[in-house]
A and B are shown apart, each in its own frame.
Chain A
Amino acid sequence: MSVTPPLTTVRLRVNGREYAQEVPPRLLLSDFLRYRLGLTGTHVGCEHGVCGACTVQLDGEPIRSCLMLAIQADGADVTTVEGLAPGLDRLHPVQEAFRLEHALQCGFCTPGFLMTVTAFLREHPNASDEEIRRELAGHLCRCTGYQNIVRAVRRASLMLTGDSARATPGAAGDAPSAP
């Protein structure tokens, strides 16, 4: 017989906003974000930590929100895909690069990729293709075959490091590029 455990208070910051809620201890962070906060941009693809679709940043580090309880995030600063773009009229450079390189098709796995890639490029602004591929290997995409995601990450790294000549739309080899 199921027992109803006592509710626990979780206080955390998500995309710069403070939240305090009473939650069952077993509530997953992914379900908390999606159902309690309505942040449905964080997607759930496997619920066992392989596909990476549910990736969010916890204190700046990409983590699998399906493998973590909401109460474990108590006191944390969480960023989800909804918190990436600087404004309604502008995308984050990584988002922009994904768009320019056709790095998404159905878009379901995309938020997870974005959360990993934005954190990765902070640490590795000049990553090689091999390093990029190794980092992306923690995520599954069934639509793109990854090639355009690799290109997007490379392009985003150029945009973020200010190599605008090679990163800006309209430059040689303009987006979306042909394979």
Chain B
Amino acid sequence: MIGARIPRNEDPRLLRGLGCFVDDVNPAGVLHAVCYRSPHAHARLRGIDVSRARAVPGVHLVVTAAELGELNQPGPLLIPHPALTQPRTQRPLAVDEVRYVGETVAFVVADDRYVAEDAAGLIVADYEPLPVVIDAERALATGAPLVHGDVPSNRAARFSQRVGNPDQAFQQAAHVLRERLVIERSCGSPIEGRGVVAEYDPRSGVLRVWTSTQAPLPIKNGLARMFGLPEFQVEVIAPDVGGGFGTKIMLFYPEEVLVPWAAMRLGRPVKWTEDRREHLTAANQERGQIHDVELAVDGDGRILALRDHFIHDGGAYTPYGMVVPIITACQLPGPYRLRNYAVEFEVSYTNKVAVSPYRGAGRPHGAFVMERMIGLVAHTLGLEPAEVRRRNFIQVDEFPWDVGLTFQDGGPTRYDSGNYPAGLEMALERAGFATFRARQAEARHQGRCLGIGIGCYVEGTGIGPYEGAHVRVEPSGRVLVATGLTTQGQGHYTTFAQIVAEALGCDASEVTVITGDTRRFNWGAGTYASRALVTSGNAVHIAAQEVRTKALRIAARLLEASPADLELADGRVRVKGVPGRDLTLGALATVADPIRYAYSKEAADAALRLVKPRSGAVLADGEAPGLEAFGYYAPPQATFASGCHVAIVEVDPGTGEVTLLRYVVQHDCGTIVNPTIVEGQILGGVAQGIGGALYEKIVYDEAGQPLTTTYMDFLMPTAMEIPEIEIVHLETPSPLNPLGIKGVGEAGAIPGPAVLAEAIEDALRPLGVSIREMPLSPNRIRELIERAERSTT
């Protein structure tokens, strides 16, 4: 079952339109909420008049910071760090200052959303505009406007890490290469926006919240703290979630506090559903870094040392601390032997929505920087970029390889396994590299610009702290699995089922998986950082193995055989080589719960075998009823997946249009549970990587007004822009966890900008164009061509 290409358990429901997303949850009498948001990027809020809004028929509540009282505290600093000396988090409702367009200022609840929107339009706030800072680098300069008046130079954090002795290595370098590299701001933009529904039941005292989150358990425990409720009286459900990509790992968004508060205050269920403009202005974003990098190489192109200083645009608040830039710093070395490395970053505040991880989470930036420098080495020394990589790869016999840096989870950045040289050759072969240069030369003769690009990456996945799982076999024979994390399309209902099916010898379709419901499982963190299958998958495996052991023990007793002579297959435990001597898992589950009521003939038959003279209790000392187990898995450190992408592009120098002719992915995520699902994850990630390289860019004007607030402006690729992607698998299992799994969720998105930068630069080499930024629109490519033409004439 592990390794099988089976269709997904979750699909029939979703295909019939029977999914249940947050906005599909409509408790009786539900009211609808709308946020009134700041139209200014930075302003003092001198007063707010909500009287006309309150007077609209059908309006139940209009709340500002004043009415919210004690609850209106700055949100939690989720991941503190000693170097984050000036953390600032957002309150649910702005008190006396707004710091980005879209910040929540008031909250309206009405009979329906139409009326709520009418009322929000009647709110009048008195703003005194303040100076705005948008550029992350300018924000750090002397005299820049301050996003937070008490944070000098807008500097939230400055942090450096060092490996070896880079300064000494630079003195021995044959070549020192310097670049400034920029990656612009972007965002996850799942097609389902965010949403929250809450109801409070005064009979039971239970607050029930449905939210489109990637982390319902932390939300539950946090809400309990905020509202002074016991944790067991708060239930949080992330039902079907329509894509997350990191955007929904942020907690707490203001609405996750405001909606439950309004539901308790009004004694009615309340719903808020984000619209797309809100998503593109007020849901967290990412990317956005400026790197100044120096690389020292010897005469053969071997890397001696790298120094990098970068500025990370934090936006107006830092709820996620320094997680993204730490990942950039730790993952920048990629698959290369980098023994002397100094990296320093600064996190600056700007008048933009906050930054928290988006698929790739700092890695696309790091890979872009490292791979651009590899390309520069190749150009400087007249080598093939692939050859420079070969000369610098960590070799197979060098694992575990310790990069020497502390990773985002506090553990080591220590690569557990991999085969980077083989990965590159697999990708090059599939892409037809051997004949490409001849083809390229021929195309150039015809005036066509073809280019090839390579992008390698290493991705720390499957971080802790831990996840858990509950596996229970029912008397029906069906198996129920519950975990604490969520699913946003990754296929957990199928892959977790496959892991159980492998252990119990049943069909994966017999296994029902529940995620994202704190009523079903109380322990765990959530689905982010490419960790779900590593952490929860192994927990499911551990629980399923315990169920297997118990099933064998009970069956051995009933079948009067040694457990060693038994096997599990076809949903049964059977005596090897003795046809007919078997029991179904359902029958064993019935026997495991000795309450004497057999609801089926088969179960009755099984139970009859137990009716023998006995003394003592029906449950042995220490034995629990039922055929079930709980399992937990806490990884010792991250496990490091890797991959290599190769793209062949054609650039039209007249229009700047980039056409993708081939896109090959080699990837290695250790043991593959379902290749179809793994490929699906990669295909979607690659599309986001391509989007991040060629189309997707969040733009603010100088006044801090977001200009990309619709899907006509924030351009995500369609089926016309994404080519056929070819995938080749390499499996080097992780030695760190029982199943040998590494994460794959983010992988596809990581090297996109790096690959396409190298490919476009290669295509435009005769024109002397250098690519130092991402993304690149056709207009921008034309500008770069024109600039190159001017500099050569």
Q: Interface of A with B (CB < 8 Å)?
A: 1-2, 4, 24, 26-27, 31, 34-35, 38-48, 50-51, 53, 80-82, 84-85, 91, 95, 98-100, 102, 104-111, 114, 132-134, 136-150, 175-176, 178-179
The answer to whether A46 and B710 touch (CB under 8 A), given A137-B718, A147-B722, is yes
Q: Looking at the complex, which one of B118, B680, B712, B718 makes contact with A148 (CB distance below 8 Å)? A: B680
Q: Is B191 a contact of A51 with CB atoms below 8 Å?
A: yes
> What is the minimal beta-carbon distance from B248 to any residue of chain A, in angstroms?
11
Closest to A85 in B: B16
Q: Is A26 a contact of B711 with CB atoms below 8 Å?
A: no
Q: Looking at the complex, which one of B711, B720, B726 makes contact with A137 (CB distance below 8 Å)? A: B720
Q: Is A48 a contact of B712 with CB atoms below 8 Å?
A: yes
Q: A24 contacts which chain B residues (CB < 8 A)? A: 114
- The answer for the CA separation of A42 and B19 in the assembled complex, in Å, is 10
Q: B686 contacts which chain A residues (CB < 8 A)? A: 145
- The answer for the CA separation of A26 and B114 in the assembled complex, in Å, is 9
Residue B683 lies at the interface, judged by CB distance under 8 Å to chain A: yes
Q: Looking at the complex, which one of B7, B192, B677 makes contact with A108 (CB distance below 8 Å)? A: B192
Closest to A83 in B: B17
The answer to whether A179 and B14 touch (CB under 8 A), given A136-B718, A139-B718, A140-B711, is no
Residue B267 lies at the interface, judged by CB distance under 8 Å to chain A: no
The 7 residue pairs across chains A and B that have the minimum distance between CB atoms: A41-B17, A108-B242, A106-B489, A107-B14, A105-B489, A145-B687, A81-B17
Residue B24 lies at the interface, judged by CB distance under 8 Å to chain A: yes
Q: Is A45 a contact of B276 with CB atoms below 8 Å?
A: yes
Q: Is A45 a contact of B191 with CB atoms below 8 Å?
A: yes
Closest to B193 in A: A45
Closest to B712 in A: A50
Q: Looking at the complex, which one of B17, B112, B490 makes contact with A82 (CB distance below 8 Å)? A: B17
> What is the minimal beta-carbon distance from A102 to any residue of chain B, in angstroms?
5
> What is the minimal beta-carbon distance from A91 to any residue of chain B, in angstroms?
6
Closest to A149 in B: B719
- Quick one: which of B700-727 are within 8 Å of A by CB? 710-712, 716, 718-720, 722, 724-727
Q: Is B243 a contact of A108 with CB atoms below 8 Å?
A: yes
Q: Is A99 a contact of B15 with CB atoms below 8 Å?
A: yes
Q: Is A46 a contact of B17 with CB atoms below 8 Å?
A: no
- The answer for the CA separation of A102 and B245 in the assembled complex, in Å, is 19
Q: A134 contacts which chain B residues (CB < 8 A)? A: 719-720
Residue B679 lies at the interface, judged by CB distance under 8 Å to chain A: yes
The answer to whether A41 and B7 touch (CB under 8 A), given A4-B57, A48-B276, A133-B720, is no
Residue B115 lies at the interface, judged by CB distance under 8 Å to chain A: yes
Q: Is A99 a contact of B7 with CB atoms below 8 Å?
A: yes
Q: Is A40 a contact of B243 with CB atoms below 8 Å?
A: no
Q: Is A137 a contact of B683 with CB atoms below 8 Å?
A: no
Residue B392 lies at the interface, judged by CB distance under 8 Å to chain A: no
Q: Looking at the complex, which one of A41, A48, A82, A105 makes contact with B491 (CB distance below 8 Å)? A: A105
Q: A42 contacts which chain B residues (CB < 8 A)? A: 17
Q: B684 contacts which chain A residues (CB < 8 A)? A: 105, 142-145
Which of B12, B17, B676 has the most chain A CB atoms closer than 10 A to its own CB? B17
- The answer for the CA separation of A31 and B32 in the assembled complex, in Å, is 13
Given A43-B192, A102-B680, A143-B684, 9 other A-B residues pairs in contact with their CB atoms under 8 A: A41-B17, A82-B16, A84-B17, A106-B192, A106-B240, A107-B489, A111-B17, A145-B687, A146-B718
Q: Is B716 a contact of A142 with CB atoms below 8 Å?
A: yes
- Show 8 residue pairs from A and B whose CB-CB distance is below 8 angstroms, ordered by the A residue: A41-B19, A95-B16, A99-B7, A102-B676, A102-B679, A107-B242, A114-B15, A142-B188
Q: Is B243 a contact of A143 with CB atoms below 8 Å?
A: yes
- The answer for the CA separation of A99 and B16 in the assembled complex, in Å, is 11
Q: Is A140 a contact of B7 with CB atoms below 8 Å?
A: no
Which of A80, A102, A107, A144 has the most chain B CB atoms closer than 10 A to its own CB? A107
> What is the minimal beta-carbon distance from A55 to any residue of chain B, in angstroms?
12
Q: B490 contacts which chain A residues (CB < 8 A)? A: 105
- The answer for the CA separation of A141 and B718 in the assembled complex, in Å, is 8
- The answer for the CA separation of A38 and B30 in the assembled complex, in Å, is 14
Which of B5, B488, B683 has the most chain A CB atoms closer than 10 A to its own CB? B683
The answer to whether A108 and B276 touch (CB under 8 A), given A1-B122, A102-B680, A179-B683, is no
- The answer for the CA separation of A147 and B57 in the assembled complex, in Å, is 49
Residue B653 lies at the interface, judged by CB distance under 8 Å to chain A: no
The answer to whether A104 and B190 touch (CB under 8 A), given A40-B24, A46-B711, A48-B710, is no
Residue B229 lies at the interface, judged by CB distance under 8 Å to chain A: no
- The answer for the CA separation of A99 and B14 in the assembled complex, in Å, is 10
Q: Is A50 a contact of B710 with CB atoms below 8 Å?
A: yes
The answer to whether A104 and B11 touch (CB under 8 A), given A4-B57, A40-B17, A137-B719, is yes
Residue B241 lies at the interface, judged by CB distance under 8 Å to chain A: yes
Q: A26 contacts which chain B residues (CB < 8 A)? A: 114
- The answer for the CA separation of A26 and B10 in the assembled complex, in Å, is 36
The answer to whether A53 and B115 touch (CB under 8 A), given A99-B11, A100-B7, A176-B7, is no
Q: Is B275 a contact of A145 with CB atoms below 8 Å?
A: no
Q: Is B17 a contact of A53 with CB atoms below 8 Å?
A: no
> What is the minimal beta-carbon distance from A151 to any residue of chain B, in angstroms?
10
Residue B130 lies at the interface, judged by CB distance under 8 Å to chain A: no
> What is the minimal beta-carbon distance from B152 to any residue of chain A, in angstroms?
39
Q: B11 contacts which chain A residues (CB < 8 A)? A: 98-99, 104, 107
**Per-position binary interface string of chain B over residues 150-166, scored 1 when its CB falls under 8 Å from any chain A CB and 0 otherwise:** 00000000000000000
> What is the minimal beta-carbon distance from B765 to any residue of chain A, in angstroms?
29
Q: Is A108 a contact of B722 with CB atoms below 8 Å?
A: no
Q: Is B17 a contact of A106 with CB atoms below 8 Å?
A: no
Q: A46 contacts which chain B residues (CB < 8 A)? A: 276, 710-711
Q: Is B14 a contact of A102 with CB atoms below 8 Å?
A: no
> What is the minimal beta-carbon distance from A176 to any residue of chain B, in angstroms?
4
Closest to B686 in A: A145
- The answer for the CA separation of A42 and B488 in the assembled complex, in Å, is 18
Q: Is A147 a contact of B711 with CB atoms below 8 Å?
A: no
Q: Is A176 a contact of B711 with CB atoms below 8 Å?
A: no
